[in-house]
């Protein structure tokens, strides 16, 4: 558990980060997968196991299967991140890639398990898996005895079900808040409908919790123990990943950062007396995505901006414009002209400038000062 005063400017109270991104396979999934596999009979171990996963659960089952001498087959969608496929194979599992979504992989698991007489290790909808994730709740109570709020990412619901059950049965006054991605808010949809429903999930940075349907086992546990369900957008998730890198020097994947994103946006409200624990559930982010996510976070924060500026098409216009920008302490990264394809008069030229600034309020100041100089300015996304 990591206590952090550096988040006090985001929300009142005391904040703690539970760094599950530092687990051996990079996420909390180690806990549930191991607990489920330890409870297999000798005959089940000898036959082997199969699971469907897009990444984190696959790696956990593969790693602990190798440790326990259990043969592991993992069915992953063809769209699974390459780093997670590579890592899963690296831990010794046989990987089969089927379909484009996790539902396709899950259907193949059912067929394969029946044919080969293998035990299925479900990613979240299994009592032993849920109990394994619940060890996080026990650790939270041990490490922060006066905890008042716990903020947990929600996908299929295994993690929050285990944590909430463990904490609420011991300390029922603790507020448990689940956070989903706006693009895959299946728990909130099920709560609103009063039953488990399947949603049409969209692409999201939080691919680890992009579940179209929560579990039949996890749903009643969420309804019983979870006080609030909120969701956050893609820009907020990117900004949270960036903040964790900058302030905490820790890397969280999109699913692991949604709790902080909810705190940053005010979706989770705290008081001065609250002691809040935020779960950073995983850090298995594709290294090729980090640059793009950082850029997206910088844009959301206003520290990276692209302005389309209309000036008179005459010698010295660009020099004068860049000088004005430099005088405002913005760092120009890239510039280019638009003439034929710009919706402007023939006597004008469009100049697009990408620059680094101090933040969103400073971008507004730059725009106003350029407008005062007689330029037409528009921010581009």
In which band, very low, low, confident or very high, does the pLDDT at 5 lie, cut at 50, 70 and 90? Answer: low
281 given a catalytic annotation: yes
188 given a catalytic annotation: no
For residue 190, pLDDT over 60 is answered with yes
For residue 89, pLDDT over 80 is answered with yes
Residues 6+ apart with CB under 8 A from 111: none
pLDDT tens digits, one per residue of 323-381: 888 888 888 888 887 765 555 666 678 888 998 998 888 888 888 888 888 888 888 87
Across the chain, what does the average pLDDT equal?
90
Looking at the chain, the number of H-run helices and the number of E-run strands are: 14, 14
What distance in Å separates the CA atoms of residue 84 and residue 54, rounded to the nearest whole number?
A: 8
pTM: 0.85
Residue tagged active-site, from 53, 161, 186, 281:
281
Least confident stretch, 209-218, 239-248, 298-307, 336-345: 336-345
What distance in Å separates the CA atoms of residue 261 and residue 235, rounded to the nearest whole number?
A: 9
Helix (H) or strand (E) holding 367, with range, is helix 360-372
**What is the reported pLDDT for 172?**
98
pLDDT tens digits, one per residue of 28-65: 999 999 999 999 999 999 999 999 987 899 999 999 99
The CATH number of the structural domain formed by 302-380 is 3.30.70.260
Give the Cβ contact number of residue 327 at 10 Å: 9
Residue tagged active-site, from 18, 27, 29, 267:
29
For the ranges 105-119, 200-214, 225-239, the one whose mean pLDDT is highest: 225-239
130-145 average pLDDT score: 98
């Amino acid at each position: 558990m990591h206590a952090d005063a550096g988040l006090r400017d985001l929300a009142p109270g005391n904040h703690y980060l539970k760094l599950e991104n530092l687990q051996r396979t990079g996420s909390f999934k180690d806990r549930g997968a191991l607990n489920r596999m330890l409870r297999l009979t000798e005959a089940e171990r000898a036959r082997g196991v199969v699971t469907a996963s897009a990444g984190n659960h696959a790696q956990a089952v593969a790693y602990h299967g190798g440790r326990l001498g259990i043969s592991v087959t993992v069915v992953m969608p063809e769209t699974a991140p390459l780093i997670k496929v590579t890592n899963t194979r690296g831990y010794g599992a046989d990987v089969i890639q089927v379909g484009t979504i996790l539902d396709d992989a899950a259907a193949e698991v059912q067929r394969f398990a029946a044919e080969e007489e293998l035990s299925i290790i479900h990613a979240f909808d299994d009592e032993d898996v849920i109990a394994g994730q619940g060890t996080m709740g026990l650790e939270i109570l041990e490490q922060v005895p006066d905890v008042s709020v716990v903020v947990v990412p929600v996908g299929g619901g295994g993690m929050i079900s285990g944590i909430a059950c463990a904490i609420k049965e011991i300390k029922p006054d603790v507020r448990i808040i689940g956070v989903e991605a706006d693009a895959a808010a299946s728990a909130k949809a099920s709560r609103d409908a009063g039953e488990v429903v399947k949603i049409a999930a969209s692409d999201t940075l939080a691919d680890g919790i992009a579940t179209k349907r929560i579990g039949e086992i996890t749903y009643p546990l969420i309804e019983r123990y979870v006080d609030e369900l909120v969701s956050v957008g893609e820009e907020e998730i990117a900004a949270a990943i960036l903040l964790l890198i900058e302030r905490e020097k820790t890397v969280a994947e999109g699913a692991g950062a949604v709790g902080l994103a909810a705190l940053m946006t005010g979706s989770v409200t705290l008081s001065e007396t609250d002691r809040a624990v935020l779960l950073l559930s995983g850090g298995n982010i594709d290294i090729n995505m980090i640059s793009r996510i950082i850029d997206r976070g910088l844009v959301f924060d206003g520290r990276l901006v692209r302005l389309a500026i209309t000036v008179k098409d005459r010698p010295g216009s660009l020099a004068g414009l860049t000088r004005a920008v430099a005088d405002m302490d913005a760092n120009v990264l890239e510039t280019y002209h638009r003439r034929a394809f710009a919706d402007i008069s023939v006597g004008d030229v469009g100049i697009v400038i990408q620059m680094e600034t101090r933040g969103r309020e400073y971008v507004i100041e730059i725009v106003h000062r350029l407008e005062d100089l007689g330029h037409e300015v528009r921010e581009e996304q």
